[in-house]
């Protein structure tokens, strides 16, 4: 039986559509995935994230095509009364994304992948505008070869991403090397993700992951701080480093569940103006995150 629970940003970072990104071990199964995350005390702000996404694969002799759609809902509770009055427009926000990815097989077990992932990140309190949209995407090159250990496969990948993994949208490189230690252990070393996995058997495994996570949300409502001019289309930026442990369990041929806890050593939550200049910071502090996920295999 194939392992149907692959890593999911994310990673956030994923937005929810990062199922084919550097933070995940992609497979060729069409799935519906839902997730829930609870963040505690992010600069005196409590946050929850709920997500659902669907990925549909089509495999050809020379490549693989993926279409996906996802929705992410963020809720933030500002414990400080003054911050709640100023930034209440950011209490609820939404991320809606589409993704299309094509991976082409090449000679010598090389592959080239190209992905386009437009995203809508907004509070949806007023009409939508260009500030609510992010045109993300990536290009990556991979190489697979047989590993002398456990008759498994080793893989190297590298490329460029444009995304909100580090908060405000930016271009960043990634590189990774994955291999098996033996039948029970495998690892990935790279940037921005490194991981270690232990498989108890084909139904149960444990993951340790280290990766960045970010979110970048626009609000069209005006914000006025200290009685100064009203700022339109301000942004709420969240970014952190995640150290995470997951337990993954395959229930049957179609269902899988995941439970995890993450340590966030240094979270940043701040308000930016239309030029991405900081106008307010909620402070940096360590935090914990509790994660739960369910995946259903469509094929």
**C-beta atoms surrounding 61 within 10 Å:** 5
E strand spans, the chain: 31-40, 45-59, 63-78, 92-105, 110-122, 133-146, 153-163, 170-180, 185-191, 194-199, 204-219, 234-250, 255-272, 278-281, 285-297
Q: Which residue has the tokens 């693989």?
A: 64
- Predicted TM-score of the model (pTM): 0.85
Contact 152, 121 (CB under 8 A): no
Both structure tokens of 26: 């992609």
pLDDT given for residue 135 in this prediction: 94
What phi, psi does 165 have (nearest 5°)? -60, -30
Contact 285, 47 (CB under 8 A): no
Q: What is d(CA 123, CA 295) in angstroms, rounded to the nearest whole number?
A: 27
Closest of 269, 266, 262 to residue 285, by C-alpha: 266
Q: What is the mean pLDDT of each run of 10 residues along the chain (299 residues)?
A: 33 32 49 95 92 93 92 95 90 95 93 96 90 95 77 86 94 94 91 96 95 94 78 93 96 95 95 92 91 93
pLDDT given for residue 32 in this prediction: 95
Question: What is the enclosing helix (H) or strand (E) of 17?
Answer: none
- DSSP helix/strand/coil, 82: helix
pLDDT given for residue 9 in this prediction: 28
pLDDT given for residue 43 in this prediction: 83
pLDDT given for residue 148 in this prediction: 61
Contact 161, 172 (CB under 8 A): yes
């Amino acid at each position: 039986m194939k392992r149907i629970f692959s890593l999911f940003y994310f990673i956030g970072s994923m937005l929810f559509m990062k199922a084919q990104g550097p933070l995940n071990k992609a497979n060729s199964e069409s799935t519906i995935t839902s997730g829930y995350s609870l963040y505690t005390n992010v600069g005196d702000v409590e946050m929850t994230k709920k997500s659902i996404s669907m990925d549909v694969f089509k495999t050809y002799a020379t490549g693989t095509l993926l279409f996906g759609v996802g929705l992410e809902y963020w809720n933030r509770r500002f414990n400080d009364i003054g911050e709640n009055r100023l930034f209440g427009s950011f209490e609820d926000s939404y991320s809606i994304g589409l993704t299309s990815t094509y991976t082409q097989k090449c000679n010598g077990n090389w592959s080239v992948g190209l992905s386009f992932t437009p995203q809508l990140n907004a509070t949806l309190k007023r009409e939508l505008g260009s500030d609510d949209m992010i045109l993300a995407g990536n290009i990556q090159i991979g190489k697979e070869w047989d590993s002398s250990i456990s008759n498994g496969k080793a893989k190297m990948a590298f490329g460029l991403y444009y995304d909100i993994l580090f908060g405000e949208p930016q271009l960043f490189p990634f590189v990774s090397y994955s291999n098996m230690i033996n039948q029970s252990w495998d690892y990935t070393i790279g940037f921005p993700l490194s991981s270690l996995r232990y498989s108890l058997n084909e139904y149960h495994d444990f993951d340790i992951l280290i990766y960045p996570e970010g979110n970048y949300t626009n609000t069209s409502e005006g914000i006025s701080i200290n009685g100064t001019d009203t700022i339109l289309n301000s942004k709420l930026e969240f970014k952190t480093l995640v150290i995470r442990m997951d337990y993954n369990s395959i229930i049957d041929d179609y269902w899988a569940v995941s439970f995890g806890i993450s340590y966030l050593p240094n979270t940043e939550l701040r308000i930016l103006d239309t030029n991405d200049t900081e106008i307010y910071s909620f402070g940096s502090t360590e935090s914990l995150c509790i994660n739960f996920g369910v995946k259903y295999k469509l094929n």
